[in-house]
Amino acid sequence: MEYHMPVMLNECLEGLNIRPDGIYVDVTFGGGGHSRGIMGRLGDEGRLLAFDQDADALANAIDDPRFTLIHENFKYLKNYLRLHGVRKVDGILADLGVSSHQFDEASRGFSTRLDGELDLRMDRRQPTDAKELVNNMGEEELCRILRLYGELPNAKQMAHAICVARKEQPIVTTGELRAAVQKMLPRGMENKYLAMLFQALRIEVNGELEALEAMLGQAVEVLNPGGRLVVMSYHSLEDRMVKNLMKTGNVEGKLEKDFYGNVISDIRPVTRKAVTPSPEELERNNRSRSAKLRVGERITTKE
């Protein structure tokens, strides 16, 4: 089984506009599919640094002197690049999806289909997993997370059902969580609602939006003028942050203008709209269906 089929590989490589002697970063290494594509376009002088907080991804490291794999969260982008003697780069790629390997490995708890421990940590070195969250979080806070991160229409009822179930016995497995919310799943939409529930818990467990905000800000800082930032997101919260950054220079989407009315930003969008997978790719890889790709280019703000 392939660890993870890279989504929109050609579109990502085109977006990066790779120079053979450039320095590039893949902040979501995973199975290494995108990284191998980048390496294929680099010359002897080129360099690729990759990040992944998941220890399972380390087994996929590329044996090449031009390649460095850093076992860390991409929110530490700038620090770890400096640690490896890099201050500026020519392109950064982020594929924010969960890898097929993580979904297919029942013990990780990412799958709504397979029964396994309710874990959901991308980095198993961190102390808090989904079990702790589901069993200890207050009902109101749980409802807020399900509504905000899962965009669940019945977040209140879901949160209540979980709190009722955990009084009987702690919720320890993905199967027990499914059972707890079973009656709250609209007929014919069970899988969709479960996916939204698991997404909400995963985002909270891993602090994904905070990490993304930190990485995006640092990415713009470390890019050389003309360097590209290529980001693939899979849900609206991530995509909104990326879109805002590329249009306004910040994730909140606040337009700042100078005295003459020009937008003050260090990045500009290269793609007017988000790029989505081709019909052929959708047929080949169903997991790419919600992917949205955006490309930005570092500019030098006029003094």
* Greatest Cα pair distance in the chain: 64
pLDDT tens per residue, range 189-204: 999 999 999 999 999 9
Q: What does the alpha-carbon distance between residue 67 and residue 27 come to, in Å, rounded to a whole number?
A: 13
**Across all residues in the chain, what is the average pLDDT?**
92
Distances (CA, A) of 143 to 156, 190, 191, 297: 5, 19, 19, 38
Q: What letter represents residue 5's amino acid?
A: M
> Whose CA is closest to 92, among 217, 3, 206, 4?
217
Q: Which of the 8 DSSP states describes residue 17?
A: T
Whether the per-residue pLDDT at 45 is higher than 90: the answer is: yes
Instruction: Quick: pLDDT tens for 208-253.
Output: 999 999 999 999 999 999 999 999 999 999 999 999 999 999 999 9
Q: Could you tell me if residue 268 is left (phi over 0), alpha (psi between -120 and 50 degrees) or otherwise beta? A: beta
Report which residue type is found at 134. Answer: V
Model confidence pLDDT, tens digit, residues 14-44 = 999 999 999 999 999 999 999 999 999 999 9
Percent of the chain at pLDDT above 90? 80
pTM of the model: 0.92
pLDDT band of residue 1 (cuts 50, 70, 90) is very low
Do residues 56 and 71 touch, judged by C-beta distance below 8 A? no
SS3 of residue 285 by DSSP? coil
> Which pLDDT does position 217 carry in this prediction?
95
Tokens 């874990």, residue located: 119
Question: What are the C-alpha distances in Å from 150 to residues 56, 159, 210?
Answer: 26, 12, 16
Contacts with 214 (C-beta within 8 Å, 6 or more apart), sequence order: 75, 77
Query: Tokens 């005295």 belong to which residue?
Result: 259
Question: pLDDT tens across 70-125, in order?
Answer: 999 999 999 999 999 999 999 999 999 776 667 667 778 777 777 899 999 988 89
